[in-house]
Structure 1
Amino acid sequence: MAGFEVISSKSPEDLQSSIDVPRTNEDDDCPVEEVRLTVPTTDDPSLPALTFRTWVLGILSCVILSFVNQFFGYRSNQLYISSVSAQIIVLPIGKMMAATLPSKPIQVPFTKWSFSLNPGPFNLKEHVLITIFANSGAGGVYALNIVTIVKVFYHKGIHIIAAFMLAQTTQMLGYGWAGLFRKYLVDSPYMWWPSNLVQVSLFRALHENEKRPKGGHTRLQFFLMAFIASFAYYLIPSYFVPSISAISVVCLIWTKSITAQQIGSGLHGLGLGSFGLDWSTVAAFLGSPLAYPGFAIVNVLVGFFLMIYVALPILYWSNAYEAKRFPIVSSHTFDSTGQTYNITRILNPKTFDIDMEAYNGYSKLYLSVMFAFTYGLSFATLTATISHVALFHGKTIWQMWKKTTATLQGHLGDVHTRLMKENYEAVPQWWFHIILIAMVALALWTCEGFGQQLQLPWWGVLLACAMALFFTLPIGIIAATTNTAPGLNVITELVIGYIYPGKPLANVAFKTYGYISMTQALSFLSDFKLGHYMKVPPKSMFIAQLVGTVLASSVYFATAWWLLTSVEHICDPSLLPEGSPWTCPGSDVFYSASIIWGVIGPLRMFAKLGIYPEMNWFFLIGFLAPVPIWYLSRKFPNQKWIQYVNMPIILGATQSMPPARAVHYLTWGAVGIFFNFYIYKRFKGWWARYNYVLSAALDAGVAFMGVLLYFTLQSYDISGPDWWGLMNDDHCPLATCPTAPGVVSEGCPVIR
């Protein structure tokens, strides 16, 4: 399931008040107040940007983050390392290189080119480009989920070149859309991309001269201490006692009660009283809570509690949709008898599509009630985002867009646009056009060639590209002004599911080309705006993004292919040894989605031929949900807390479930509230100085220990001591049991 997006916490009035009438050309400061307060209006064009240090540290950051994120992507706790970690770590390394490397120019053989290993002090522009490289490595390659389900879930082969080109083309297509709309979404001073201001602030803070406070530590010293502690501690939950990653107290007390374990299990139930003593449990699926604003954490927790402790118990114990036949929390698919759906019974082995005669003679597809309800909430989140943005930000967006078109027609801009045009050569538009044409052609070859292993015909590729092209500008305007970006994953699955049902790989390939290429375009545009604010030469930005994307896609692919072909029984918990972390929870959900939307299709799932047609009402529910909040915020403008109630976040709070479970939300929320409310209020100076540094150190420590353990011990099948704590579970075996009378499930008592 798709994760939630954090939407700007500002009220419409706040946003409106920050947009001023454009100044004259003599006084051309940015018309957006937040930008004026955060982004410097000076530039030094003499500073080198794409230096030897940039290439070395940028490529290293890109490769390490790509490898680590894909490596952990197949593990029980999918730790995600953001580019902020690299942003903090490379600063002292860059300064050390500037202090130690020789500055004598080096001549490139057989050319007139020369370069210096040390062109001067490590500067801000180098740091920005290295972070752009790191962003490429931190972004993930969604298409590799397709490769994973083909190889280890459907047990079919896929040509290595087809798999590689799928990864590259889905990541690179976004360059085309970004190039087409760069003029509107980057050059305009009214398209300000709020999330970039956090990065700008962090860059400025890191490059300020820092003196060690009396009795305290510098940020680097604090990072090293926290990193060593995290690195050493992770040996315990990752090797010796995996069970402390999820401790369910209720299950340890009531060892023979199905209901008690359903309520208490943090991994398979409601998680009441469960917790984890492992940073990867905290940050695995939702990201580091230290990096989230407090209002977003509260909205997520409200949505989580309403779903897990109100809606889910009512639905399950009232036996809605035959809920008691299946586990209370599960991402798997089931037949009418409560058994795992045998997909091989309805798939034609030659054509790899649905056999309708076999399907009609077998069973309709059932989901756990939580999984079905989560899909309903995903529908609601999509329409709620549109409604929320229209109500709270619609007037602002429209005024910004009118000013954008007027500004561009008059060739005017703010001080940042003027400085960029005066000092640097723009990226030629034909660079983007060539990439777009080449990637569309390669995408067509990837899907039509190799025996049509991906099932998606040429018209499907073009339709997916058309959808991405159509939505990039309007969603880009929303993202650039409100800090939210509605995803296309649900819409793309619906469209291809109705047009071309029964083809699982066609469905996921269409979704990836349509959804991810637009997402990549927004990421590229956001990075371009960051470079715009930091006065990085546009061509250097383009080269860093291009090389970083190709390199990251290659490393992600190589890591995935290596693990899929070297880890025995990867993604199959029933055959993996005790304590093995290679359970692939994310790919498991992706596989289920390919069955739901691809094999069975929305017509036989969420329409009149399916079990869950009522889920379509969530489109209307989501669309109407922000209306009362908007009305109350206008009715009671002095009640500021109302403006922080965000229905898209509340409705989309549990979109990470599955693969995330209750214990992940509870520990994430507890840590987030502690740091972003208690520490922030009582020790604001400490929070401002060390909060993000601590987050990066905890992530980095876990990542380095996890990789070290695999290469030194786990790859040689050397597991931890064989004892009770080695189980990579929460010791709640009955939580997955059905409670309907007569349903047989392995390891569960049959209810009479």
Structure 2
Amino acid sequence: MTSDIDEDIQPINGPEKGQNIINEDTELLLPKKSNASTVKTHESYGAYEEITSSNDEPDDLEPDVLQLPKVIREIVPLHDDPTIPVLTFRYFLLSTLFIIPGAFIDTMNSYRTTSAAYSIFFVQIAGHWAGKRLARILPQKNINILGLKFNLNPGPWSIKEAAMVTITANSGATGNLATNAISLAELHFNETVPVWVALGFMWSIVFVGYSYAAIAKGSLLYDINLTWPQALMQTTLLQSQEKSDEDSQEGTKQMRVFFLVIGAIAIWQLFPEFIFPLTSSLAILCWIAPYNPTINFIGSGLGGMGVLNFSLDWANITSSIMLYPYWIQVIQFVAFVLGAWILIPLVKWGDLGSFKGGLMSNKLFLSDGTLYPVNELLTPELTLNITAYEHYGPVHLGAQRAWNMFFDYAAYVSGITWVVLFGYDKFKTAFNNFRNKSQINNGEFTDRLNKLYRNYPEVPNSWYLILFLISFITLMTIFLSGNLFMPWWCGIIGLIMGSIIVTPLAWLYALSNFQLAIGTFNELVYGYMMQNVNRKHPAGALVFGSIAGNAWYRAQYHLESMRLGFYNHLPPRAVFFSQLYGELIGVPINYLALRWVLSTKREFLNGNKIDPLHQWTGQTITTSHTNAIQYVVLGPSRLFENYPLLPYGFGLGLITPIILFKLHQRYPQFNFNLWNTTVFFSSMSRFYGNISTGYLSRFVGGTITMFWAFKYKHSLWKKYNYILAAAFDTGYNLAILIIFIAFSVLTNTTMPNWWGNNQQSIERCFAL
């Protein structure tokens, strides 16, 4: 499940935090093989399954089947039983059980520097297993509650129910973009958003996105030439689970491994997270010279460069090593080496840049390198105090934060340019198919899947309209009451911006699985909109970004879930309902998680205390605060006046894909198409300044899993890779919940200081 995409990279949790080309592998980006008998289903998080098929397909395939692309014919079931129930008691029970921890964990993780995502693979695997267990143990008993009649156990567990649980959890067991704005206001401006406003805003922005799916649904959802790779990958896993049920011995073995690994990792994670923090960052150079400041800075992974630094903390490694293809991991590691091992020393000890302060920080600084007194820049009305600004002088960014912004701009433009250049032929074909309606007869698609889908009543457009009107009225009520930091007219502009981008971005996503992160761009636009407005709240940029961003992110969620339902023959109205149900359960859990984090970790998040593990740093909130000051209080003009090179990032993002595209056309044997600039720029823009541990361990782990195992132990890799990825992430999150309940809820206990939990430095970098 994914939280809303903004800046953080989460392998499975997307769209509310970060999600971009790195965690959304694309068909356009994968290497091609000339072997015609191998079909690749391009899986959105990097790994892909090889499906060997015969070149001599049956000659008697029916015309409606032949209309389907080959990759769809080989994965998607071409038959259906419409009588299979999907909205069962088992579905509601399991969906609720999976949503609650997922929504809490994903929101909580958004305040941590590193974390493992709440895995969608876990929901699919564990949900399917739990559903089969419930089908065996629940009584077949009819229940009548307030006139609502249902059977506790209406028959065998079906893969359709597993798909429905996945869709519901994928909607509700996520984060919410609104938590960033609410947290920013409370942590940095001492303004608490009322509960009713927070919940109303959180629900409204996700429901607006679902309603906006209607804009693109007619042209994008049912065209079988648009493969929607993410939904196809999920279908691959669901269908493989159904096939494994036929071999009960193999399925039992896989489940035994799955739960044993969960238990083992849950126990192990208690050590780096609580008992033995030294294992989270093994700074070898610091052990050699623990009191040498230069060696400490080079070797430390918590505030240094992280050279020869390893981590045994799964939060610093994550399942990305088992999900991203190896060539993406190579690009990410190259970006890390350039950012941490080359640029940082060039700034610190060389002549790269005259400002040396805040090298690895995302806060704001004075010219002498001390923290900028940001609060003094603000008047009581939270507008710019010109007198104070002239007194203290221009705001300075830490060097790493400056190049983060530069490469973020480059990644934004590169994402569009790269996909258009390398995917032009695919886009052209898809557009011509839609324009010419070559496969439509009397306004209807005539392929097998669309015929099967017409057995179910469609979701009326009126449902989307009602959902939008309820959300719009709620938003306008909140803004007109003055409770959420932004003028009402900005909300309307945000909704208009969101409506414009839904179709083109959904079109790109349906073909390539590329999801463009638009959060920073929205905040920049808001800065220009409010530049000449006298009364403006810094948190307004995040509110605006939440509206405009979710209009696309949640629309994509809905369309993708509908496509998953299309592939697995789920009633579209049931899919629509399941997503709303997921959000109705998930949003209050998001808010409860926010309140717990702000009440227990506030001093770490606002900088009054330093977390020894450098985890509870609120990096996203700190970055949002920096952006708010730069874009809203000072305005984009002052930012670019102080940093005139930043806009050139847009130019870099435009030019480099063109150069690589030309090189690939001329020298295809050198695979220039694999050196994806968006992956590289995104990695450069998202390096966490105060945590450089884990990157080396991640690369080593990725070399083992996605190069050695994938190449030389492929049958074993296919059998256990996804299961182990889900088990590792789940075990990690289980450990976090155990620590939370045992040492925060039931007791208020901290780990005593000892050799492996040194009070001065858990890495034993004593001179840092």
TM-score, structure 1 as length reference: 0.90
The residue aligned with 1:516 is 550
Whether contact under 8 Å (1:171, 1:517) holds in the other structure is: yes
Rounded Cα–Cα distance in structure 1 between residues aligned with 2:289 and 2:635: 41
Q: Deviations over 1:312-352 (max 9, x none)?
A: 4334444444332x143112221112111211111112x12
* Aligned residue identity for 1:418: N
Local SS of the residue matching 2:603: coil
**Maintained 8 Å contact 2:301/2:690:** no
Q: Which residue of 1 aligns with 2:109?
A: 72
- Aligned 1:98-109 pairs, distance under 5 A: 98-109=135-146
Mapping 1:607-618, distance limit 5 Å? 607-608=640-641, 610=642, 612-618=643-649
Corresponding residue for 1:339?
A: 370
Cα deviation for residue 577 of structure 1 reads 7.6
TM-fit CA distance, 1:537 = 0.4
Structure 1 residue identity aligned to 2:285: V
For residues 561 and 195 of structure 1, what CA distance do their matches in structure 2 show?
33
Q: Structure 1, residues 194-239: CA drift from partner, whole Å, max 9, x if none?
A: 122211111111111354779x971100001101111111121122
CA contact 1:12–1:393 (8 Å) conserved in 2: no
Q: Give matches, 1:560-575, under 5 Å.
A: 560-567=594-601, 569-575=603-609
Partner Cα separation in structure 2 for residue 35 and residue 63 of structure 1: 33
Structure 1 range deviating more: 375-384 or 166-175: 166-175
| Mean Cα deviation higher: 416-425 or 398-407 | 416-425
Q: What's the counterpart of residue 234 of structure 1?
A: 269
1:481 alignment partner AA: L
| Residue matched to 1:441 | 473
Partner of 2:388: 358
2:308 maps to 1:268: no
Measure, in 2, the Cα distance between the counterparts of 1:679 and 1:510: 45
2:219 matched to which residue of 1? 184
Report the counterpart of residue 719 of structure 1 in structure 2: 750
The alpha-carbon deviation at position 463 of structure 1 amounts to: 0.8
- Cα distance in 2 for residues equivalent to 1:413 and 1:590: 46
**2:161 corresponding residue in structure 1:** 126
- 1:38-53 alignment, distance < 5 Å: 38-53=75-90
1:706 aligns with 2:741: no
Q: Which moved more, 1:37-46 or 1:630-639?
A: 630-639
Which residue of structure 1 lines up, in the alignment, with residue 379 of structure 2? 348
- Output aligned runs, 1:466-545, within 5 Å: 466-501=496-531, 503-545=537-579
Q: Deviations over 1:552-604 (max 9, x none)?
A: 12211122123323556352454368669643333233322222323222211
1:170 Cα deviation from its structure 2 partner: 1.9
Cα deviation for residue 282 of structure 1 reads 0.9
Residue number in structure 2 paired with 1:427: 459
Match of 2:430 in 1: 400
| Distance 1:374-1:556 versus aligned 2 partners, 3 A rule | same
Does structure 1 conserve the Cα–Cα contact (< 8 Å) formed by 2:64 and 2:448? no
1:56: which partner in 2? Answer: 93
Alignment match, 1:743: none
CA contact (8 A) 2:28 2:423 kept: no
What aligned pairs does 1:138-149 form with structure 2 within 5 A after superposition?
138-149=173-184
Partner residue in 1 for 2:688: 658
Offset of residue 401 of structure 1: 1.7
Maintained 8 Å contact 1:300/1:653: yes
Instruction: Give the secondary-structure state (helix, strand or coil) at the position aligned to 2:454.
Output: helix
Map Cα deviations across residues 451-495 of structure 1 (whole Å, 9 max, x no partner): x24321111101111111111111111111011022222321121
Which amino acid in the other structure matches residue 231 of structure 1? A
Deviations along 1:590-637, one digit per CA (max 9) or x if unpaired, are 3222223232222111x22x2x11011111111111123212222233
Cα distance between partner residues in 2 of 1:246 and 1:359:
40
Q: How does 1:444-455 map to 2 (within 5 A)?
A: 444-449=476-481, 452-455=482-485
Deviation larger for 723-732 or 495-504: 723-732
Once residues 656 and 361 of structure 1 are traced to their aligned partners in structure 2, the CA distance between those partners, rounded to angstroms, is 33
Paired amino acid for 1:590? S
Out of 72-81 and 502-511, give the one that drifted further. 72-81
CA distance in 1 between counterparts of 2:352 and 2:469 reads 50
SS in 2 for 1:106: strand
* Residues 660, 672 of structure 2: 8 Å contact kept: yes
* Cα distance in 2 between the residues matched to 1:25 and 1:677: 40
Paired position in structure 2 for 1:82: 119
Distance in 1, Cα, partners of 2:607 & 2:755: 17
Q: Does the aligned pair in 2 maintain the 1:30–1:36 contact within 8 Å?
A: no
Cα distance in 1 between the residues matched to 2:476 and 2:766: 47
Cα displacement string for residues 17-53 of structure 1 (whole angstroms, at most 9, x for unaligned residues): 999xxx9994344443322222221111111111111
Q: Output the amino acid matched with 1:171.
A: V
Aligned identity (percent) is 24
Specify whether residues 255 and 367 from structure 1 end up closer, same or farther in structure 2 by C-alpha distance, changes over 3 A only. farther
Tell me the equivalent position of 2:278.
243
Residue matched to 1:742: none
Q: Which one-letter code corresponds to 2:431 in the other structure?
A: W
CA contact under 8 A between 1:168 and 1:554: conserved in structure 2? no
1:29-40 to 2 correspondences below 5 Å: 29-40=66-77
Q: Which residue of 2 aligns with 1:738?
A: none
Deviates more, 1:67-76 or 1:495-504: 67-76
SS at match of 1:45: coil
Q: Distance in 1 between matches of 2:505 and 2:33?
A: 18
Is 147-156 or 169-178 further displaced after alignment? 147-156
What per-residue deviation string (whole Å, max 9, x for no partner) do you get for residues 363-419 of structure 1? Answer: 211111111001100111111111111111022112202212333685232535423
**Per-residue CA distance 1:528-547 (angstroms, 9 max, x = gap):** 11111111000110000111
Q: How many pairs does the alignment contain?
A: 718
Matched residue, 2:589:
555
What is the letter of the counterpart of residue 585 of structure 2? L
In 2, the alpha carbon distance for the partners of 1:490 and 1:567 equals 26
Distance verdict in 2 for CA 1:367–1:278, change over 3 Å: same
- CA separation in 2, counterparts of 1:354 and 1:409? 61
Whole-angstrom CA distance in 1 between matches of 2:141 and 2:248:
33
Quick one: which amino acid aligns to residue 183 of structure 2? T
Deviation of 1:147 (Å): 1.3
Letter paired with 1:136: S
Separation in 2, partners of 1:466, 1:729 = 50
Provide the rounded CA distance (Å) in 1 between the counterparts of 2:767 and 2:189: 28
Quote the Cα distance in structure 2 between the aligned partners of 1:480 and 1:100: 40
Q: Kindly provide the amino acid, as one letter, of the partner of residue 378 in structure 2.
A: L
Q: Do the aligned partners of 2:404 and 2:685 also contact (CA within 8 Å) in 1? A: yes
Superposed, 1:258-337 pairs within 5 Å as: 258-283=293-318, 288-324=320-356, 326-337=357-368
Q: Secondary structure at the match of 1:114?
A: strand
Residue aligning to 2:663? 632
Q: Does the Cα contact within 8 Å between 2:111 and 2:620 map onto a contact in 1?
A: yes
> Does the residue aligned with 1:423 lie in a helix, a strand or coil?
coil
Taking the aligned partners of 2:30 and 2:728, their CA distance within structure 1 comes to 36
Give the conservation status (yes or no) of the 8 Å contact 1:83–1:138: no
**Are 1:316 and 1:369, in contact at CA under 8 Å, matched by a contact in 2?**
no
Task: Check 1:412–1:694 CA distance in 2 against 1; reply closer, same or farther (3 A cut).
Answer: same
Distance 1:228 1:177 in 2: 42
* Aligned partner letter, 1:226: V
Match of 1:8? 26
CA contact (8 A) 1:61 1:133 kept: no
Task: Decide which moves more: 61-70 or 399-408.
Answer: 399-408
Q: Following the alignment from structure 1 to structure 2, what is the Cα–Cα distance between the partners of residues 412 and 24?
A: 21
Could you say if the C-alpha distance between residues 572 and 490 of structure 1 is closer, same or farther in structure 2, counting changes exceeding 3 Å?
closer
SS of residue paired to 2:605: coil
Q: 1:259 to 1:38 in 2, by over 3 A?
A: same
Unmatched 5+ stretches in structure 1 = 736-752
